[in-house]
Amino acid sequence: MRLRLPSSVPSRQSPQSLCRRCVLVVAWLLVPPLQVSAEAAPTWRFDGADGISRLGELTRFDAAEIAFSSADGEVALAAANVRIVEPVEKPPVAAARVRLWLSDGSLLAGDAVETRGRDLVLEGQGFSIAVPQQVVVKTAWDLAGDGVDPLDAAAAPDWQSAVPPEVESDLIVIRKAAEPEPVYQAVPCAILSIDAEHVTVALDDDRIPVKRERVAGLVWLRADNEAQPAGPVIDFIGGRLFATEVRYLAEPGDFQVNTAWSSDLAIPVASVRRIDLAAGRTVSLVALPREETGVEPFFAGLAELEELADAFQPRFVTAEQAASLSEGGPLILVAPRTVIRWKLPAGVQRLRMQADVERPQAGGGDLVVIVDGRELLRRGIPVEAGKADRIDVDVAGGRRLELVVDFPADAADGQSGLGRLRLLDPRLEK
Q: What was the pLDDT predicted at 42?
A: 87
pLDDT exceeds 70 at position 27: no
- Domain membership of residue 39 (yes or no) is no
pLDDT exceeds 50 at position 33: no
Query: Which of 5-19, 32-46, 93-107 bottoms out in mean pLDDT, i.e. has the lowest?
Result: 5-19
Identity of the residue numbered 10: P
Cβ–Cβ < 8 Å for 139, 217? yes
103 lies in the same domain as 160:
yes
Evaluated on CA atoms 298, 304, 310, 311, the torsion sign reads: negative
270 lies in the same domain as 293:
no
Listing DSSP states for 94-143 in one string gives: PP-SEEEEETTS-EEEESEEEEETTEEEEEETTEEEEEEGGGEEEEEE-G
78 lies in the same domain as 113:
no
58 lies in the same domain as 126:
no
231 lies in the same domain as 105:
yes
- Domain membership of residue 383 (yes or no) is yes
- Final residue of a domain: which of 277, 311, 338? 277
Q: What was the pLDDT predicted at 405?
A: 93
230 lies in the same domain as 142:
yes
- The domain in which residue 76 lies consists of 44-87
- Final residue of a domain: which of 277, 311, 340? 277
DSSP strand pairing (421-429 vs 400-406): unpaired
In CATH, what number is assigned to the domain containing residue 397?
Answer: 2.60.120.1060
- Domain membership of residue 295 (yes or no) is yes
- Domain membership of residue 35 (yes or no) is no
- Domain membership of residue 22 (yes or no) is no
- Final residue of a domain: which of 226, 244, 277? 277
**Which stretch of DSSP H or E encloses residue 373?**
none
Q: What is the pLDDT of residues 354-385, one digit of tens each?
A: 999 888 777 778 999 999 999 999 999 988 76
Using 50, 70 and 90 to split pLDDT, how confident is the model at 224? low
Cβ–Cβ < 8 Å for 88, 44? yes
98 lies in the same domain as 223:
yes
327 lies in the same domain as 237:
no
- Domain membership of residue 5 (yes or no) is no
What does the alpha-carbon distance between residue 155 and residue 149 come to, in Å, rounded to a whole number? 8
57 lies in the same domain as 138:
no
Q: What is the pLDDT of residues 391-421, one digit of tens each?
A: 999 999 999 999 999 988 765 544 455 678 9
What does the alpha-carbon distance between residue 115 and residue 201 come to, in Å, rounded to a whole number? 13
Q: What is the pLDDT of residues 127-184, one digit of tens each?
A: 899 999 999 999 999 876 665 666 666 677 888 888 888 888 999 999 887 777 788 9
Percent of the chain clearing pLDDT 70 (strictly above): 79
321 lies in the same domain as 240:
no
Segment 322-332 shows an average pLDDT of 65
129 lies in the same domain as 66:
no
66 lies in the same domain as 94:
no
Q: Structurally, how many domains does the chain consist of?
A: 3
What does the alpha-carbon distance between residue 130 and residue 341 come to, in Å, rounded to a whole number? 45
CA-wise closest residue to 99 among 144, 145, 138: 138
